[in-house]
Amino acid sequence: MDSLFVPSLQPALKHPTILKKFDDLQNGEAFLLINDHDPIPLYYEMKAEKGEIFEWKKVEDGPEVWKVEIKKTAVRSSAINPVKQNKEEAKSDVFVLNVTLIEPRLKHPTIFKHFDALKEGEAFQILNDHDPKPLYYQLLGERGNIFTWSYLEQGPQWWKVQIKKNDLANGETVGEIAAKDIRKAEVFKKYGIDFCCKGHRTLEEVCDAKGLDIAILQSEISSVLNTKGDGGIDFKSWPTDLLIDYIEKTHHRYVEEKTPTLLQFLDKLCKVHGNAHPELFEIHDLFKGCAGELAQHMKKEEFILFPFIKRLVNTAKHNEAIEMPQFGTVDNPIAMMKHEHDAEGERFRRIVELTGNYTPPADACNTYRVTFAMLQEFEQDLHKHIHLENNILFPKAQELEKTLSV
């Protein structure tokens, strides 16, 4: 059996050389890999690049020398996972990817390649030493609503998530439905369906989660479409750069103008009515936190993300080569923006709960009533703001970048 002594290779050539040697094998042939550290990251790279057409057998497991026999198989190998976390996993057919054993630069690419290799209805699990929530948003941003994310274990030491590729015939997401005709969003509002921060769910998923009759919901949506009216503004047909200008001048400006007044009113309510209504203090803290986060969030959009999207538009207009930014692909800042959108959505859900859906108490003064009305208006504007970005602007930008990258 041929052997390959990895430490003698230049770092940049190690993995390419190993993969080339594997490619040169005939089915049934093998070679012995010799290394000065555990080559488990290579296993995961091969799993992602080559699929399940190899066997990985450790012959020597340190502490100074590691030897692995790598064999090319003609069929899918059953002995492909060198790391079994426990007996229960060993009995499971679902592959478990231990993310902690993968080199940092290879973690997300490896997970994405595992996901892309899945057939509809298939799943795999990831095991990590911290909450992999940022991966969820990146996966959602780059692949869309074609997966189900289920926590099997949530800390404090280990997080395990099962990622399943959905049946692509499941239908449109509620965000996509609202993006095509904003009138449908009124039906979603009626039933408390979040079509902006949680717009990646299908109508069926939402109805299952809320115990709603999907037939009734679909009937009401159809009724809305049959009513007279202009159907609102068709933002989806707008040029991407025009949509950015609208978001900045309408929604960003709204947040900047309303935030100081609301903070002033909430501070006054806490001083005057805080003893009788202690929930006002939490409402004040929640909105103050929201105001601070939104201010930073909007600056990141205005100075980083939006200018890059506009450069994509100009690049397409002039048929120029795309100039990649420091953050890599547009998917990365979009994933972060969606994560921050979701955080503010959760914050306002708590405000809605504390205010009784913005219902002032019987002893409320005029300032009390005006403040609750302003909070409700602020939330409604935020929903429209996030909807325009999550469901229309961001998909347009991602599609444009993919087109230019071809």
What would the DSSP string read from start to end of 48-94?
A: HHH-S-EEEEEEEE-SS-EEEEEEE-SS--S-------SHHHHH-SS
For the CA atoms of the chain, what is the radius of gyration?
Answer: 26
Q: In the numeric block, which tokens belong to residue 119?
A: 């057939």
210, 193 Cβ separation under 8 angstroms? yes
Which of 52, 67, 82 lies at the terminal end of a domain, its last residue?
Answer: 82
Domain extent at residue 268: 235-405
**pLDDT for res 67:** 92
CA distances from 241 to 19, 179, 398 (A): 44, 17, 14
In a shared domain, residues 212 and 285: no
Cβ atoms of 263 and 291 within 8 Å: the answer is: yes
Angle between helices 279-300 and 253-273 (to 10 degrees): 160
Quick one: tokens of 217?
A: 């919901």
Question: 82, 117, 143 — which closes off a domain?
Answer: 82
Q: How many structural domains does the chain have?
A: 4
**Nearest CA-CA partner of 368 in 269, 284, 288, 283:** 269
Residue type, 232: G
**Mapping DSSP to helix (H, G, I), strand (E, B) and coil, where does residue 54 land?**
strand
Q: Do 345 and 320 lie in a common domain?
A: yes
Q: Look at residues 173, 178, 113, 114 and name the one whose alpha carbon lies nearest to residue 145.
A: 173
- Bridge partners (DSSP) listed for residue 57: 69
Domain of residue 136, CATH code: 3.30.110.40
Query: For position 81, what pLDDT does the model report?
Result: 44
Residues 326 and 281 in one domain: yes
- Residue pair 401/329 in contact (Cβ under 8 Å)? The answer is yes
Tell me what pLDDT residue 232 has. 59
CA distance 13 to 290: 48
User: What's the token pair of residue 106?
Assistant: 């290879």
Q: Which residues pair with 58 in a beta bridge?
A: 68
> Are 304 and 206 members of one domain?
no
Residue linked to tokens 């209504």: 277
**Other C-beta atoms within 10 Å of 103: how many?**
13
Q: What is the dihedral of CA 101, 104, 105, 106, to 10 degrees?
A: 20
Contact (Cβ atoms closer than 8 angstroms) between residue 248 and residue 302: yes
285/244 Cα distance (integer angstroms): 30
What ranges make up the beta strands (E) of 118-237? 123-128, 147-154, 159-165
Of 61, 82, 103, the residue at which a domain comes to its end is 82
192 Ramachandran zone, left/alpha/beta (phi>0; psi -120 to 50): left
Residue type, 127: L
| Statement to judge: residues 142 and 245 lie in one domain | no
Quote the CA–CA distance of 46 and 21 in Å, as a whole number.
12
Q: Residues 73, 102: one domain?
A: no
Same domain, 294 and 352: yes
In order along its 406 residues, the chain shows pLDDT tens digits of 888 898 888 887 888 899 889 988 888 899 999 998 888 878 877 876 676 788 888 999 888 898 999 998 864 443 344 443 333 333 456 888 888 888 888 888 889 888 888 887 788 999 998 888 888 878 876 776 677 888 888 888 889 999 988 764 456 777 777 766 667 777 887 888 877 667 778 888 888 888 888 888 877 876 765 554 444 577 888 899 999 999 999 999 999 999 999 999 999 999 999 999 999 999 999 999 999 999 999 999 999 999 999 999 998 887 777 777 788 889 899 999 999 999 999 999 999 999 999 999 999 888 898 899 999 999 989 999 999 999 999 999 998 888 886 5
Distance CA 176, CA 387 (A): 10
Residues 379 and 265 in one domain: yes
**199-to-120, 178, 218, 225, 333 alpha-carbon distances in Å:** 21, 9, 17, 20, 18
Phi, psi of 196 (to 5 degrees): -105, -75
In this structure, the answer to whether residues 189 and 250 fall within a common structural domain is: no
3-state secondary structure of 380: helix
Are the beta carbons of 344 and 290 closer than 8 angstroms? yes
Pairing of strands 2-5, 30-35: parallel
Task: Indicate if 379 and 241 belong to the same structural domain.
Answer: yes
Read off φ and ψ for residue 381, nearest 5 degrees: -65, -40
* 325 upstream amide cis, omega within 30 of 0: no
Same domain, 285 and 401: yes
**Cis amide leading into 156 (omega within 30):** yes
| Same domain (yes/no): 44, 1 | yes
Q: What are the φ/ψ torsions at residue 312 (nearest 5 degrees)?
A: -60, -40
DSSP-assigned states of every residue in 5-17: EGGGS-GGGHHHH
The separation between the first and the last C-alpha atoms of the chain, rounded to the nearest angstrom, is 42
* Residue 25, phi-psi category: left (phi > 0), alpha (psi -120 to 50), beta (remainder): beta
